[in-house]
C-alpha cells in the first residue's frame, strides 16, 4: 500500500459522494450528501465541505483530489461548460478547487471517470472497445475505442444518454433542449415517472397503495417494490429495460463494442432491467456485432465514478500504474 492516498469525488445530479482511496483502490472512508440545487456558491461550498470531511479521517496524507462531475467539459478553455442537472456554466472548476482546497486537482465528466474505473479494474477490464452507461438522475456515457478512453474533440463527449430514441418522445429532463433522449426513458427520474403513471393506472398494486399512502413514487421505490414481487413495479422496470435495449442496440451497431457496462443507481434492479435490455439487443442489433457483445453490470456499482475520479489523480501522480491489478472484492467493500 502506498504511503499516501487521494480523495475521489462523484458530483452527480443528486448525490455528492467523496471517498478516501489508496493506491490499491481500497476505500477507507465515504461521505455522502445531497447536491444543493440552483446556486453555484452553495454547490462549491458543499463540495469543499465533503472533501474536508473525508480529509479529516484519512489514514494517510492526502496527495490530491479527483472529481467526476455531471457536466460537459470544454478542454480548450479548461472549464466545466454546462450541465443539465447542476448550476454550472463555464466554471473553471479545477482552478477554483485547487485554490480552495490547496491540493492538486484533476476533473473529468462523471461518466468518463466511471468508465476509467470499470476499464482499468472493473467489468470492462481487458476490453479495447467498451461502452459504459451510468444510469442515475440522468444517463451518462463512457467510451473506450481502440484501447483509448475517448472524450471527443474538446472533451465534451460522449453524452450517450442524449442519443434520441424517439423523435416525438417526451422532453429530456433538466436543461437538455432535446426530445426523446435515452435519458428521458431510462434514468432514475424516468423510472419514477413511469412508476407514478403505473400507480395511478393500477391503484390496487403495490405502487398504487404506496401512492395512496402519500409515498413519493421514486426510482428506488419502484425498484424496491419490484424486488418484493409487485407485478406493476416489475412491469415498469422491464419497460425501462426495453428502452435501454433500444439505446444499446444502436451503440452496438455503431461502435461494435465487446462489452457494454451498465452502472449507476438504477442498476440496483439487476436482471429485471438487464434481461429485457439483452432481449431487445438480440432482436434489434445487427449480426455479427450483436453476437460478440456482453451486457453486464458495473463492478464498482454506484461508486464507479468516485473510484474513477480517484484513479485520475492516482495515475497522474504515479501512485498507481494503469496496468495495476484490480482490487479484491474485500478491498472494494472496505
Given a cut of 90, whether residue 328 has pLDDT beyond it is: no
Q: What's the rounded mean pLDDT across residues 315-320?
A: 90
Which grid cell is 188?
432514475
- 185 shares its domain with 278: yes
pLDDT single digits (tens) 85-114: 899 999 999 999 999 999 999 999 999 999
Q: How far apart are CA 212 and CA 317, in angstroms?
A: 54
Q: Is residue 155 part of a domain?
A: yes
Given a cut of 50, whether residue 82 has pLDDT beyond it is: yes
- 290 shares its domain with 307: no
- Widest CA span of the chain, in angstroms? 58
Question: Would you tell me how many other CB atoms lie within 10 Å of the CB of residue 183?
Answer: 28
Q: What's the predicted TM-score (pTM) here?
A: 0.92
Backbone angles phi, psi at 23, to 5 degrees: -65, -20
Question: Would you tell me how many other CB atoms lie within 10 Å of the CB of residue 92?
Answer: 14
Q: Is residue 57 part of a domain?
A: yes
Q: Which DSSP string do the residues of 208-237 spell out, in sequence order?
A: HHHHHTT----HHHHHHHHHTT-HHHHHHH
- Quote the pLDDT of residue 38: 76
Which grid cell is 185?
426513458
Q: Is residue 48 part of a domain?
A: yes
- 179 shares its domain with 326: no
Q: Nearest to residue 130, comparing CAs of 314, 116, 25?
A: 116
**Angle in degrees, CA 172, 140, 134, rounded to 5:** 120
Counting residues of the chain whose pLDDT is more than 90, the rounded percentage is 86
- 211 shares its domain with 235: yes
Q: Is residue 121 part of a domain?
A: no
Grid look-up 464507479 returns 304
Q: How many domains does the chain have?
A: 2
**What band does 63 get if pLDDT is binned at 50, 70 and 90?**
very high
The domain that holds 166 is classified in CATH as: 3.30.420.40
Strand partners, 65: 7, 105
- 29 shares its domain with 86: yes
pLDDT single digits (tens) 150-204: 999 999 989 999 999 999 999 998 778 999 999 999 999 999 999 999 999 999 9
Which 8-state DSSP code applies to residue 164? B
- 45 shares its domain with 174: no
CA distances from residue 95 to 31, 104, 128, 306 in whole angstroms, order as listed:
23, 9, 32, 20
Which 8-state DSSP code applies to residue 157? -
Q: Is residue 141 part of a domain?
A: yes
Given a cut of 90, whether residue 140 has pLDDT beyond it is: yes
- 193 shares its domain with 220: yes
**How does the average pLDDT of the chain come out, rounded?**
93
- 268 shares its domain with 309: no
Q: Is residue 59 part of a domain?
A: yes
- 106 shares its domain with 65: yes
Given a cut of 90, whether residue 137 has pLDDT beyond it is: no
Given a cut of 50, whether residue 275 has pLDDT beyond it is: yes
Which 8-state DSSP code applies to residue 84? S
Q: Is residue 120 part of a domain?
A: no
Q: Nearest to residue 290, comparing CAs of 239, 327, 251, 263?
A: 251
- Quote the pLDDT of residue 332: 47
Grid look-up 451486457 returns 295
Its domain, for residue 204, covers 126-297
Q: Is residue 146 part of a domain?
A: yes
Given a cut of 50, whether residue 116 has pLDDT beyond it is: yes
Which grid cell is 172?
429530456
Q: Positive or negative CA dihedral for 31, 310, 73, 241?
A: negative
**Angle in degrees, CA 166, 167, 169, rounded to 5:** 60
Grid look-up 475505442 returns 145
Between β-strands 105-109 and 130-135, what pairing exists: parallel, antiparallel or unpaired? unpaired
Counting residues of the chain whose pLDDT is more than 70, the rounded percentage is 97
Give all strands (DSSP E) within the chain, no chain letters.
Answer: 5-11, 15-22, 27-34, 62-69, 72-74, 79-82, 89-91, 105-109, 130-135, 139-145, 148-149, 259-263, 294-297
- 310 shares its domain with 201: no
**What band does 329 get if pLDDT is binned at 50, 70 and 90?**
low
Question: Would you tell me how many other CB atoms lie within 10 Å of the CB of residue 228?
Answer: 10
- 285 shares its domain with 173: yes
Which grid cell is 50?
465533503
- 95 shares its domain with 212: no
**What band does 321 get if pLDDT is binned at 50, 70 and 90?**
confident
Amino acid at each position: 500500500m502506498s504511503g499516501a492516498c487521494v480523495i475521489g469525488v462523484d458530483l452527480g445530479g443528486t448525490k455528492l459522494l467523496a471517498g478516501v482511496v489508496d493506491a490499491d483502490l481500497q476505500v477507507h472512508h465515504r461521505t455522502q450528501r445531497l447536491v444543493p440545487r440552483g446556486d453555484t456558491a452553495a454547490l462549491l461550498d458543499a463540495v469543499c465541505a465533503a472533501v474536508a470531511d473525508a480529509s479529516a479521517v484519512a489514514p494517510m496524507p492526502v496527495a490530491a483530489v479527483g472529481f467526476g462531475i455531471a457536466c460537459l467539459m470544454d478542454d480548450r478553455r479548461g472549464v466545466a461548460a454546462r450541465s443539465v442537472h447542476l448550476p454550472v456554466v463555464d466554471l473553471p472548476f479545477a482552478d477554483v478547487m485547487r485554490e480552495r482546497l490547496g491540493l492538486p486537482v484533476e476533473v473529468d465528466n462523471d461518466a468518463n471517470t466511471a468508465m476509467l474505473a470499470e476499464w482499468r479494474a472493473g467489468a470492462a477490464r481487458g476490453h479495447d472497445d467498451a461502452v459504459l452507461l451510468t444510469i442515475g438522475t440522468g444517463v451518462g456515457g463512457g467510451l473506450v475505442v481502440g484501447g483509448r478512453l475517448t472524450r471527443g474533440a474538446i472533451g465534451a463527449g460522449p453524452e450517450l444518454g442524449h442519443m434520441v430514441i424517439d423523435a416525438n418522445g417526451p422532453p429530456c429532463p433538466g436543461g437538455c433542449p432535446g426530445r426523446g433522449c435515452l435519458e428521458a426513458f431510462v434514468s432514475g427520474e424516468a423510472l419514477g415517472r413511469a412508476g407514478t403513471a403505473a400507480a395511478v393506472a393500477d391503484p390496487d398494486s403495490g405502487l398504487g397503495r404506496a401512492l395512496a399512502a402519500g409515498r413519493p413514487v421514486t426510482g428506488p421505490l419502484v425498484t424496491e417494490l419490484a424486488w418484493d414481487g409487485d407485478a406493476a413495479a416489475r412491469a415498469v422496470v422491464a419497460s425501462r429495460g426495453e428502452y435501454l435495449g433500444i439505446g444499446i442496440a444502436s451503440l452496438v451497431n455503431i461502435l461494435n463494442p465487446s462489452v457494454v457496462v451498465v452502472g449507476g443507481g438504477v442498476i440496483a434492479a439487476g436482471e429485471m432491467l438487464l434481461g429485457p435490455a439483452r432481449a431487445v439487443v438480440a432482436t434489434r442489433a445487427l449480426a455479427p456485432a450483436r453476437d460478440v457483445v456482453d451486457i453486464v453490470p458495473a463492478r464498482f456499482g454506484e461508486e464507479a465514478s468516485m473510484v474513477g475520479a480517484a484513479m485520475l489523480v492516482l495515475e497522474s501522480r504515479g501512485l498507481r500504474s494503469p496496468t495495476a491489478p484490480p482490487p479484491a472484492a474485500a478491498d472494494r467493500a472496505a
